Each structure stands twice: as C-alpha cells, then as structure tokens.
Amino acid sequence: MSHIPPATPTRFGLHGRPPRAGRRRVGIVALLQESNTFLTQPTTLDHFRQDLLVTGEPVRAALAGSHHEVGGFFAGLEEAGIEAVPIFAARALPYGAMTAECLEALLSLVGTALDAAGPLDGLLVAPHGATVSEAVADVDGHWLTLLRQRVGSIPIIGTIDPHANLSPAMIEATDALVAYRTNPHVDQRSRGLEAAGLMARTLAGDIRPTQAAAFPALAINIECQNPGAFPCLPHYEAAARLRAAFEQAAPDGPVARGTVLSTSIVLGFPYADVPEMGSAVIVVTNDDAAAARLHADALGAGLWLARDTFLPTLASIDAALDRAAALPGSVCLLDMGDNVGGGSPADGMALVRALLDRGMAKSFACVYDPAAAAAAASAGIDARLPLAVGGHAREWAGDTASAPVEAEWRVIAVSDGRFTEREPRHGGATSFDQGPTAVLEHDRGLTIMVTSRRMAPFSLQQIRHAGLDPASFRLLVAKGVHAPVAAYGEVCRHFVRVNTPGVTTADLGQLAYHRRRRPLHPFERNAG
C-alpha cells in the first residue's frame, strides 16, 4: 500500500500540540493529475517529470508568480505575514490512471520533503480531485488521509478542480476545500488566495472552518459544465448568495458562529470510472457542522431537482460543420471526443478528416504526432512529402474516422515547441513545451501543427510561436470542451461543440462503466 512515511510526533506536533511562539509556518503541497480510466495507456512518473515535479524551494520558483492556485497560496500567506514553506508540487497533463509505482514514488517524495520542512502550523494543499491509480481509485482521498495522519490536528485547507470526483475521504481529511468557480479555470490564483485567507484567519483564531458535503446521484455532462451559463449558472448564483455575508464583511476580527465561509459546486469528471464519479457540493461554515450540512443538502437538492437540464445536445460532425459554415467570422470547433484536457490521446482525426473531405479552406488543427513532426523537420521548410498524420493511438483501433489521414503535405514551419503565456488561462500555467513541432499545409486549405508531446489547447501562443496568426483562420479545431474558450475567445466569434468519437466522448452512453456509483442519473433515469 502506498504510504507517506510517518513523522516523529514531537517534531511535527501531532495530536494537537499547542501553538508555537513566533512567526507561523504553513506548508504547501500540490499533487494534480486528472486520470481518464478509459485510456489503455497509464500515467507514469515520467509524465510528471515532463510537466512539473519539484520539492522544497523549487516549488516557489516554479509557481509563486503563476496564475495557479499555488501562486495564490504564496501571495496570500505573504500578505498575512505567514511564512510559506514550499514542500512538494507535482503536475501531469491528464492521461490514464497512474501506475502503482508512480503513486508510490510521489508519496515517498512527499514524505521526504515533509521531513525537510520543519515544524508546521498548517498546510495548504492542492489536490486535483479526480486522480486515479491502478492500485487506488480515490488517490486524492488517499494521500490527503495519509497527510492528515502524518501531521495530526493542524489545519489543512485546500483547493480542488471543479472536475473533481469528490469523496467523503477528501472532506474528512481536510478542514476546508474550495473549488474553482470558472470553466475555463481562470480563477485558480483567486481560489488559492481564498484558501490562504481562510488559513490566516484560522491560525489567528478568528474562525474554525467546518465543512460538509452533499453527493446528489447526478452525473453532469461535460458539455453542460459552464458555471457562467445555464444550466450551471443558477446553482453557482445560489452558492454565491450563501457566502456573500462573509465576503462582504470586514477582513479582520471574530466571525459569528454559523457564518458560511465558502461554498463550492463540484461538477465531477465522467471519464474516471470510480465509485466517487459524479457531482457534489461543499459548504464551509464557522464552527457549525449542522449549518454546513443544512446548506450543502439544500444546494445538492437544487442540482437534483434540475437534473434534466444537464442533458447535452450532442451535435454530430456533419451538423456542426454545417452550422459553422453558416456562421460569420472565425469559428472554434471544439473536438469533445479528443479532449486533451480530459486525458485523450490528442491525435484523433475524425473532425480533421471531415474538414479535409469538405475542402473547408483556412482551417487549422493541432495533432500529437512525433513521427510526423520529426519527418517534417528532417525534410525542411517548403519540402513536400507524403505522411500519415495522427490517429496512431491504440484507442482509435477499429475507428476508421479517427485513423491517420494519409496525404501529401508541404512543410511551412518548424519550431522547438516552447512558448509562454502571460494571461490567465485554463490551468494557470505560464510555460509550455510540446517538443519539436512542425506545421504542415494541405493544398485544400487545411493547416496542421504536429507536436512531439501532447499539448492541451490552452494558449494561442501555441499557434503564434510557430509564426502563424490564429486570426487568419476561418475554422480552428481545439481538442477540448470549455477550457480552450479562454484563449480562443480572443480570435473566434463563435464556438461549436462537436460530438466526436473518443475516450472523452460527450455521449456518456458510449462508455463502458464498471465501478461508478449506482444509481446515477442520467444512466439510471431519476435515480434517487
């Protein structure tokens, strides 16, 4: 069983030690990965090494200035005069379930980093909430529980992605969890600041966070998971009304018992086939478990009563392209079945093939294909060569629509695949590396960027860094559902979500679930 090695009780103050004299010290631990259990390929430690895997002070260097929630942790603690103690941060692009060895290695690193951290008065944590391993279905509940056992009664407050599959173990192991409130996730730093503020007031003795969660038997379809629009918006507005009094109150001094400190709508991640899969609600009050339970149940009941509003429309490829052709200006086609932010292989060609077959000029797509990128770079700029692009992942076996597109291409650009993003974008990252990259052009007006590493479409710098102008394209394919909107909204007047095939299909009836909770609406209609 994966474990975080135990601490010496006297060193880490287990079992409720009295407050230390002097400046407070709060540790920071982040472990973020969204695991798609329908993928055949697992997440390994190398996936974290390719993205982010640091301990100690390098955590500060990597994230303190970012739009990430950990950046908010650092800023909030500094503002409160609390010493931030960077301990551990690991992040990997969404992919398959972690190997058991990967989870064991990560937890061992956490334990070693905790040993080096010294005495702590609290912990700010950033789990994703939808992490799965081959050995443990609820990885986030698992590591948070181990962390609680390790550090004892000091406050543990954290953030989660709204695509978490929340578990009772996550709630039990923490004093407060705060979910992002936007999708695309552009408020991560703000939620980190919120969590740090709760920690500061907890250590000052102003509040005692007490949380409860509700778990309506409802899976919210990914197509409907936009907090800023119907059907989600009314529920986010109800949650905001509950916490309004605390947000508008003076920032210092005692808070009345029962005051709602934080509320979160947790939308769920339908591509992790685990017992926790589905929606949830979190309410944090000041020292009032009954009030937290009452409010959480009320918000959960609201989701349940509105359950049929969360059913998707699911536009086919042909219907989506017909609609796009009739719209004025640039259109972003959201390739939902090959959603890289949901763990997909990033090389499905169903939508790209349809664009090529229809001869829809000024079209752009980005595809993961290391072999094509290498061949194009070797051939050089302006070279023409036959290539079978995309569709190589074993997930497309038997799916002729998503198979490789074989054609002759002209190489129009090559790059090292590295770019930066200054603006807040989904995921909060600022530096990206998609490996050696090439841009291919077809005579029928289709441009394809081929990358050596999977890359989610969270930044238009992905296109610009290779010398392309995203505004010059009439149709841009983004392999996502909501996440690309923050970036692509800069150049696209319209967004059309396309029900493409794949391991992130929005048609959940196409996925074979074995471990999800039952009953669960809409799989079992009107499940109570």
Q: Per mean pLDDT, which range of 76-80, 307-311, 427-431 is the poorest?
A: 427-431
Give the residue from 266, 161, 268, 173 showing the smallest Cα distance to 211.
173
Average pLDDT, the chain: 94
For residue 342, pLDDT over 80 is answered with: yes
The per-residue pLDDT for 339 is 97
Average the pLDDT over each of 127-136, 291-300, 397-406, 442-451 and give the range with the smallest value: 397-406
Distance of CA 506 to the CA centre of its chain: 17
What would the mean pLDDT of 381-388 be, rounded to a whole number?
Answer: 97
Q: Could you give the CA distance from residue 476 to residue 448 in angstroms, rounded to a whole number?
A: 10
- What is the pLDDT at residue 410? 98
DSSP string, 481-526: SSTTHHHHTTT-SEEEEE---STT-S-GGGS--SSS-SS-BTTSTT
The mean pLDDT value for 96-101 works out to: 98
pLDDT digits (tens, 9 = 90+) for 215-246: 999 999 999 999 999 999 999 999 999 999 89
Residue with tokens 């949650």: 239
User: How many of the other CB atoms lie within 10 Å of CB of 254?
Assistant: 11
pLDDT for 21 equals 62
Q: Which residues pair with 387 in a beta bridge?
A: 407
Indicate if the pLDDT at residue 425 is higher than 50. Answer: yes
Q: Where are the domains of the chain?
A: 23-310, 317-506
Domain 23-310 adopts which CATH fold? Rossmann fold (3.40.50)
Structure tokens at 287: 């020292």
Given a cut of 90, whether residue 16 has pLDDT beyond it is no
- For residue 454, pLDDT beyond 60: yes
Asked if residue 250 has pLDDT above 80, the reply is no
pLDDT tops 50 at residue 122: yes
Label residue 510 left, alpha or beta by phi (over 0 means left) and psi (-120 to 50 means alpha).
Answer: alpha
The proportion of the chain whose per-residue pLDDT surpasses 70, expressed as a percent, equals 96
pLDDT at 83 over 60: yes
**Cα dihedral across residues 481, 486, 487, 490: positive or negative:** positive
Element (H, E) at 28: strand 25-32
- pLDDT, residue 429, reads 82
Looking at residue 397, its pLDDT comes to 81
3-state secondary structure 387-414: EEECCCCHHHCCCHHHCCEEEEEEEEEE
pLDDT of residue 20: 57
Q: Please state the rounded mean pLDDT for residues 4-30.
A: 60
How is 212-253 classified by DSSP, letter by letter? EEE--SBPPPGGG--TTSTTTHHHHHHHHHHHHHHHHS-SSS
Instruction: Provide mean pLDDT across the span 211-217.
Output: 98
Q: What angle do CA 189, 194, 197 make, to 5 degrees?
A: 125
| Residue 5: per-residue pLDDT | 54
Q: Strands (DSSP E) along 279-342, which ranges? A: 280-286, 331-335
Which residues have CB under 8 Å from 280's CB, separation 6+? 164, 166, 213, 214, 215, 216, 266, 268, 300
Q: What is the pLDDT of residue 17?
A: 43
pLDDT at 326 over 50: yes
Q: What is the pLDDT of residue 22?
A: 78
